[in-house]
Amino acid sequence: MVKAKADKVRSVTKFNRLTPRKTATVFAVFLWQQISYPLSMTEKTFSPLLDKLIQSLRCLPGVGQRSAQRMAFYLLEENQRKRGLTLAETLSEALHAIKHCDLCQTYTEESRCKICASTSRDPHLLCVVESPADVMAIEQTHSYRGRYHVLMGHLSPLDGIGPEQLGVDKLFNRFKEETIEEVILATNPTVEGEATAHYIASQCKHLPVKITRLAHGVPMGGELEYIDGNTLMHALKARETL
Amino acid sequence: MTTKTNRFNEQAAFVLHSRPYRESSAIIDCFTREHGRVSVIAKGCRRQKSTMRGLLQPFLPLLLSYQGQRELKTLTDCEARGFSYTLRDVNLFSAMYINELLLLLLHKEEPFVGLFDVYESVLATLARAEATSPEGALREFEKVLLESLGYGIDWQYDYKTDQLLEKDARYYYQPGFGFTRLEAGSSLLNHPQSFSGEAIASIAASDWHEDMLPQA
């Protein structure tokens, strides 16, 4: 009788004994409660509209719960409301009106973007880039006076983006309709960008067009020591005679 | 909870595919020699000043160090192991096709040492053979890939009769089983899956003739 009781006590103590694993689990649960408690509280303390605003702001890249909350509160401050309203109106107007340029596919609210409509641009030169940001980058050099074609992406078979999805035929139509003498393939120096450039080049071979590709090399003002081997290798291969 | 960190140092590897993750990171699928296909997260590799950015490109032999016990590891270090294979036109597309095959067919963290070496030699062939057709190298790689995955084909025996394949007969390939002899006048003689014994023998010997390639 006594022995049975002792056994029972032992088994109970065995059950209750805190192993390192158990302590860690308890600690983790405690930590989780500490973290999740304020989160769940915030969800409930905000009014539905404010919550909707915060959640909508989170669609921007690099904006999480915290930043979205800060932005929402900032816009709701008395002296910022006017600016906030301007932002809202511009946002709505821009998202409805801005479409792709008929010729180069970059973003514009007109049928032709400024560069395509300009008469001072060389119509014989065409630079093919991946995104409107790349157009800006090349424009900032002030050394290119031709026109652009924005692909809005690159070929990536693994992500299901082939020539049809990219709309390369719009580019090929331009070769037929315009008098282009040189195509500069300025896609990114990644494998996908390279593949896109090679694809376009192979499709244009039969056309009387000069096809060039942007050079890969060392950045200006950099130190050779800190350049990655791959870039340096390309720079070595494409070296120039002085 | 015991903390067990699994560190993997300087693994010979190739990047198969990478996709952007958050603002400045990327999730990279790579093919390592010792551990097969591994997914790693490269933190901050898309930052402007990151030295990893130029290195984490496909077709560049790398030494990767990563850690983690879950399926997604964290990349800690990366350096080049050799020069990048410069691929052009058809060869570039072929190499991308190989990467796609590996990405879709290999199980995670299952080592394929032999396959890794063949992958490297195929890339070398593709980079060397500027103008020649890449088909030979591709078929060879596909053959080794099938064998490594356990779907190797018996190139020697008829699966129904267990007799040696003869060079002047025609055989029909039944997926999942193997080759079987076709009698004269069989409706399958001109089927895309029917081969001459000679073609089978040369495929088995990895002897990729120009005229045999379309049959393979």
The per-residue pLDDT for range A5-27, each reduced to its tens digit, is 555 555 544 555 667 776 777 77
Alpha carbons B86 and A236: distance in angstroms, whole number? 13
Chain A residues with CB under 8 Å of B96 CB are 157-158, 191, 195
Beta strands in chain A (DSSP E): 99-100, 107-108, 122-129, 146-150, 182-185, 210-213
Structure tokens at A151: 């692909």
- The CATH number given to whatever domain includes residue B213 is 1.20.1440.120
Per-residue model confidence (pLDDT) at position A197: 92
pLDDT, average across residues A56-82: 91
Which domain covers residue B46, as residue numbers?
Answer: 7-80
User: Is residue B22 situated within a structural domain?
Assistant: yes
Residues B136 and B159 occupy one common structural domain: no
Q: Which of B127, B148, B169 is the last residue of a domain?
A: B148
User: Is residue B191 situated within a structural domain?
Assistant: yes
Hey, are the CB atoms on B83 and A233 less than 8 Å from each other? yes
CB atoms within 10 A of CB A90: 10
Residues B209 and B161 occupy one common structural domain: yes
* pLDDT tens digits along A83-129: 999 999 999 999 999 999 988 899 999 999 999 999 999 999 999 99
The alpha-carbon gap from A226 to the nearest alpha carbon of chain B, in Å, equals 8
Alpha carbons B199 and B57: distance in angstroms, whole number? 38
Residues B174 and B210 occupy one common structural domain: yes
Distance, CA of A207 to chain centre:
33
Tell me if B80 sits within 8 A of B55, measured CB to CB: yes
User: Is residue B176 situated within a structural domain?
Assistant: yes
Q: Which of B80, B110, B134 is the last residue of a domain?
A: B80
Tell me if A58 sits within 8 A of A65, measured CB to CB: yes
Tell me if B126 sits within 8 A of B85, measured CB to CB: yes
User: Is residue B1 situated within a structural domain?
Assistant: no
User: Is residue B31 situated within a structural domain?
Assistant: yes
Nearest CA in chain A to B84: A230
Residues B121 and B63 occupy one common structural domain: no
* pLDDT tens digits along A138-166: 999 999 999 999 999 898 888 888 888 88
Residues B72 and B23 occupy one common structural domain: yes
Hey, are the CB atoms on A158 and B17 less than 8 Å from each other? yes
Any residues with CB less than 8 A from the CB of B50 and at least 6 apart, and which? B24, B44
Per-residue model confidence (pLDDT) at position A10: 52
CB atoms within 10 A of CB B24: 16
Tell me if B128 sits within 8 A of B84, measured CB to CB: no
Residues B113 and B133 occupy one common structural domain: yes
Residues B168 and B183 occupy one common structural domain: yes
Question: Looking at the 3D structure of chain B, how many domains does it have?
Answer: 3
Per-residue model confidence (pLDDT) at position B213: 47
Residues B108 and B172 occupy one common structural domain: no
Instruction: Find the Cα–Cα–Cα–Cα dihedral A127, A132, A137, A138, rounded to 10°.
Output: 20
Q: Which of B125, B148, B171 is the last residue of a domain?
A: B148
Give the CA distances from residue A118 to residues A43, A102, A114, A122, in Å, rounded to whole numbers and listed in that order.
Answer: 51, 14, 6, 9
- The CATH number given to whatever domain includes residue B47 is 2.40.50.140
Distance, CA of A16 to chain centre:
52
In terms of Cβ atoms closer than 10 Å to its own Cβ (0-12, 13-18, 19+), residue B113 is middle
Per-residue model confidence (pLDDT) at position A204: 86
Tell me if B97 sits within 8 A of A158, measured CB to CB: no
The alpha-carbon gap from B105 to the nearest alpha carbon of chain A, in Å, equals 13
Nearest-CB residue to A195 (from B22, B60, B93): B93
Residues B178 and B214 occupy one common structural domain: yes
Q: Is B130 on the interface with A (CB under 8 A)?
A: no
In terms of Cβ atoms closer than 10 Å to its own Cβ (0-12, 13-18, 19+), residue A77 is exposed
Residues B165 and B203 occupy one common structural domain: yes
Residues B36 and B94 occupy one common structural domain: no
Ordered per-residue pLDDT tens for chain B, 216 residues: 445 568 888 889 999 998 888 878 899 999 999 889 999 999 988 887 777 877 888 888 999 999 988 889 999 988 888 877 888 778 888 888 899 889 888 888 888 888 999 899 888 888 886 656 677 788 888 888 888 888 777 777 877 777 777 777 788 887 777 787 777 767 776 777 777 777 777 777 766 655 444 444
User: Is residue B2 situated within a structural domain?
Assistant: no
Which candidate, B63, B53, B75, places its Cα nearest to that of B32? B63
Distance, CA of A165 to chain centre:
18
Per-residue model confidence (pLDDT) at position A75: 93
Q: Is A62 left (phi over 0), alpha (psi -120 to 50) or beta?
A: left
Hey, are the CB atoms on A159 and B19 less than 8 Å from each other? yes
Residues B141 and B174 occupy one common structural domain: no
User: Is residue B179 situated within a structural domain?
Assistant: yes
CB atoms within 10 A of CB B213: 15
Alpha carbons A216 and A168: distance in angstroms, whole number? 24
Hey, are the CB atoms on A21 and B84 less than 8 Å from each other? no
DSSP string spanning B118-177? Answer: HHHHHHHHHHH-SSS-SHHHHHHHHHHHHHHHT----SSBBTTT-PBPPTTSEEEEETTT
Total residue count of chain A as it appears in this document: 242
